[in-house]
Structure 1
Amino acid sequence: MALDIQPKMRGNVLMGINPMGLKQEIQNQINYVKSQGTYEAPKRVLILGASSSYGLATRITLAFGGGADTIGVSYENGPRTERNLGTPGWYNNIFFKEAAEAEGLVAKNFVGDAFSDEMKANVIEYIQEEFGGKVDLVVYSLATGRRTDPETGETYRSSIKAIGQTVEGPDINLEKEEFYAGHLEAASEEEIEATVKVMGGEDWYIWMQALHEAGVLAEGAKTFCYSYLGDNLNRSYYQDGTLGRAKADCDAKAEMIADILADINGEARVIVATAVTTKASAVIPFFPVYCLGLYKVMEEEGTHETPIMHQDRIYRTMVYGDAPEYDEVGRLRPDSWELRPETQAKAEELIRQIDAENFNTDFTAWDTFMHEFLNLNGFDVDHYEHEEVTLEDLQALEP
């Protein structure tokens, strides 16, 4: 029986999945990269957190713009019942692999706990035995709310909170299309520490140490970790909050990793990316309202980007191009478009005027945000033509 697939929301979490819509969305992103032409890029790439958002976009641009063979690591679930079709990333992995292999590229998917020693060992073994022995680039793009430390067995859970203050501001319930006054509590020291353990750079460091010790990093190998900082408009709940503390830990770990890679002339760097629509950006307190104002301004300026547009620009023009932008501590800063003073000033003026009467009108970028949000699960996808599928069809897909 054909599945009746509809988008469903619970608060700011999108629950329903349209697998064939996700297939078209993958193709749309591939088509975008191809429309920009090819560029020189590394040919053997490992992406940790490869199944959605920045990680998926990175994999697509390097494969279809740079001709890279890729290994993707992610934690996803496949279809079980008609009410549980799995996670979007499960299908993203499958449809990326199909498209890449159709063009003669290697696209190996590892599905499981990237934080575990077992996953690290399995990936290293695959590189040694089936992936040419070494990788040229390692991208760290893991995003999750919990992490089990493989050394201690303790599980940590992150908290999105302020530090040393409570924060109030406008927020949105996407399910109810309700604009309301949000409230963010101050984090305890334990919550700060746990957030750093989950979302900081510790696991990135462990991965790079393991890869280096195994001898699977090529001479001159690069590694990048994605971060976000924002500016004064979201500083109180982001850069100055638990998320910001975790991102600062990534900066510290980048220096430690650079020391490890010195003997192979390697490079370790944080990339501070721009604000885009992801599952995380929808649930970070106050952040959807920031996006509604920022996107509106950047669309008018011609600088608004989706993850694939942003990542393609990063690798095509910055990392492997001739127009990198670094800050005073050596981070790559493709978020410079978002942080232009005139852009932030216009966004601030607009955000101050957003209220319950206009937040979901063309006064803001509501339509853009919701279109991109629905795309994450395969809905409202450009060029998608309805395709009936059964549970058996989905279960027969090869991960």
Structure 2
Amino acid sequence: MLTFKQNIRGNVALGVNPLGCKQDVLNQIDYVKSNGTYEGPKKVLIIGASSSYGLATRINLAFGAGADTIGVSFEKGPKNERNLGTAGWYNNIAFREEAEKEDLIAKNFVQDAFSHETKQEVIEYIKNEFGGKVDLVVYSLASGVRKDPETGELYKSSIKAIGEPVVGPHINMQNESFYTETLEPADEQEIADTVNVMGGEDWQLWMEALKESGVLTEGVLTTNYSYLGTELNHAYYGGGTLGRAKADCDEKAENINQLLADINGKAQIVVATAVTTKASSVIPFFPVYCIGLYKVMEEKGTHETPIMHIDRIYRDMIYGDKPEYDEVGRLRPDSWELDSDTQAKTKELIEQLNAENFNSDMTAYDTFFKEFSNLSGFMVDNYVEQEVTLDELKALNY
């Protein structure tokens, strides 16, 4: 029988608990169901569907709006007792199993979303087995590398400042340390490569392929999650390479709106709030911002996990009657984070942090670490330890 051990290197999770991942999916499903059903899309394609916002979106739309879904993600299954695969592999399986229990279609494409071949395979599936058209396309892909589908060139993103170095506090969850880090500025090539990986080019390529193939409904909506942040993290986020990539998504949204104009479609940038993801955990300084922000928002009753945030976005804002837009038309569910009192209290709290108190009751370090652990199936609420063999895990079908 297998035993599962949480293994962290720096702020990167290496271990996985497949059974814990399943329970985490069940917990998210229960949260959505507890809020009841709502009228939403019925045929949905989610690009980047296996974890965090993408997974939460798929769960919300399936179990809240009754949508059939296609999920595209690049994950790995178990090989041996030392390499049990990725959390997203088991998330995909758990989601499909639960959706099919309710007679919902839940097709998983586990392959490279950047490739032309994957786009065409998904399109053929939509045409032949998914009713012919989709009414919502969600782009939630998070990757550090991207192979150019035309040239085969491999681009790698860089999380760096632009112009000047940034110095600030950071956390290492492996050894629970608090230290000062310097984030060096990116050169022009690193900026360009980051935009190539994390910008909106692939989103636009997907929408062009889908439109050309005639698999988009009249009035189709496509969403892409962004993050703009605040004055407290602008130097290393909005003002850094990540910010350049997000700005490129804004530009591509305009292109997609023109592309979809003749079918009354819309590209919607959703500026989401700060949440715990595998990506956010490795952004320099960002975990410090989170443990301060979460503490303040917990006290105000406004802190959200990805499933809570996504449920509010789709139930209340996109398909509900409580949308909040900014001056350029982006949806702004991050308004709770940007609340002036919340930001002032977060700034005051962060300025008091040091190596002795960062992981005390003074902050929400425990919340951040638990949410980080949940991403790999550890510290999951309602989890009951069970026996499972490697062969049983290998027999699971995504």
TM-score interval, normalised by the smaller of the two chains: over 0.9
Say whether residues 1:157 and 2:171 are aligned partners.
Answer: no
Q: Which amino acid aligns with 1:275?
A: A
The residue matched to 2:211 in structure 1 has which SS?
helix
Q: Please report the RMSD computed on the Cα atoms of aligned residues, expressed in angstroms.
A: 0.4
**Which residue matches 1:21?**
20
Shift in Å, 1:162: 0.3
The residue matched to 1:334 in structure 2 has which SS?
coil
Deviations 1:309-344 (A, max 9, x none): 000000000000001000011100000000011110
**Which residue matches 1:303?**
302
**Which residue matches 1:256?**
255
Deviations 1:186-244 (A, max 9, x none): 00000000000000000000000000000000000000110001100000000000000
Shift in Å, 1:277: 0.4
The residue matched to 2:141 in structure 1 has which SS?
coil
* Separation (CA, whole Å) in 2 of partners of 1:252 and 1:388: 50
Aligned positions of 1:233-382 closer than 5 A: 233-382=232-381
* Separation (CA, whole Å) in 2 of partners of 1:12 and 1:83: 20
Q: Which amino acid aligns with 1:264?
A: I
Q: Which amino acid aligns with 1:118?
A: E
* Separation (CA, whole Å) in 1 of partners of 2:171 and 2:293: 15
Deviations 1:280-310 (A, max 9, x none): 1110000000000000000000000000000
Corresponding pairs, count: 398
**Which residue matches 1:212?**
211
Q: Which amino acid aligns with 1:369?
A: F
**Which residue matches 1:231?**
230
**Which residue matches 1:138?**
137
Deviations 1:346-374 (A, max 9, x none): 00000000110001111100110111010
**Which residue matches 1:387?**
386
* Separation (CA, whole Å) in 2 of partners of 1:361 and 1:170: 16
Shift in Å, 1:153: 1.2
* Separation (CA, whole Å) in 2 of partners of 1:117 and 1:150: 6
Q: Which amino acid aligns with 1:360?
A: N
Shift in Å, 1:151: 1.2
The residue matched to 1:328 in structure 2 has which SS?
coil
* Separation (CA, whole Å) in 2 of partners of 1:282 and 1:73: 23
150-159 vs 186-195, greater mean Cα deviation: 150-159
- Listed as ranges, the gaps of 5+ residues in structure 1 are none
The residue matched to 2:58 in structure 1 has which SS?
helix
Shift in Å, 1:72: 0.1
**Which residue matches 1:115?**
114
* Separation (CA, whole Å) in 1 of partners of 2:123 and 2:10: 40
Say whether residues 1:94 and 2:117 are aligned partners.
Answer: no
Shift in Å, 1:43: 0.3
* Separation (CA, whole Å) in 2 of partners of 1:226 and 1:305: 16
**Which residue matches 2:59?**
60
Q: Which amino acid aligns with 2:110?
A: V
* Separation (CA, whole Å) in 1 of partners of 2:347 and 2:177: 21
Deviations 1:159-196 (A, max 9, x none): 00000010000001110101000110000000000000
* Separation (CA, whole Å) in 2 of partners of 1:362 and 1:38: 37
Shift in Å, 1:38: 0.4
**Which residue matches 1:183?**
182
* Separation (CA, whole Å) in 2 of partners of 1:206 and 1:21: 35
Deviations 1:21-80 (A, max 9, x none): 111100000000000010001100000000000000000000000000000000000000
* Separation (CA, whole Å) in 1 of partners of 2:18 and 2:346: 35
Aligned positions of 1:183-202 closer than 5 A: 183-202=182-201
The residue matched to 2:131 in structure 1 has which SS?
coil
Shift in Å, 1:4: 1.5
Shift in Å, 1:152: 1.5
* Separation (CA, whole Å) in 2 of partners of 1:109 and 1:285: 33
The residue matched to 1:232 in structure 2 has which SS?
coil
Shift in Å, 1:269: 1.2
* Separation (CA, whole Å) in 2 of partners of 1:36 and 1:268: 27
**Which residue matches 1:12?**
11
Aligned positions of 1:13-52 closer than 5 A: 13-52=12-51
Shift in Å, 1:139: 0.2
The residue matched to 2:159 in structure 1 has which SS?
coil
The share of aligned pairs that are identical, in percent, is 70
Q: Which amino acid aligns with 2:228?
A: L
**Which residue matches 1:124?**
123
* Separation (CA, whole Å) in 2 of partners of 1:370 and 1:158: 25
* Separation (CA, whole Å) in 1 of partners of 2:152 and 2:258: 28
Deviations 1:5-32 (A, max 9, x none): 1101111101111000111100000000
**Which residue matches 2:173?**
174
Structure 1 runs (4+) greater than 2 angstroms displaced: none
Instruction: State the TM-score, normalizing by the size of structure 2.
Output: 1.00
* Separation (CA, whole Å) in 2 of partners of 1:112 and 1:361: 42
Q: Which amino acid aligns with 1:231?
A: T
Q: Which amino acid aligns with 2:212?
A: E
Q: Which amino acid aligns with 1:116?
A: S
* Separation (CA, whole Å) in 2 of partners of 1:263 and 1:97: 34
Shift in Å, 1:157: 0.2
Q: Which amino acid aligns with 1:347?
A: T
Instruction: State the TM-score, normalizing by the size of structure 1.
Output: 0.99
Shift in Å, 1:388: 1.2
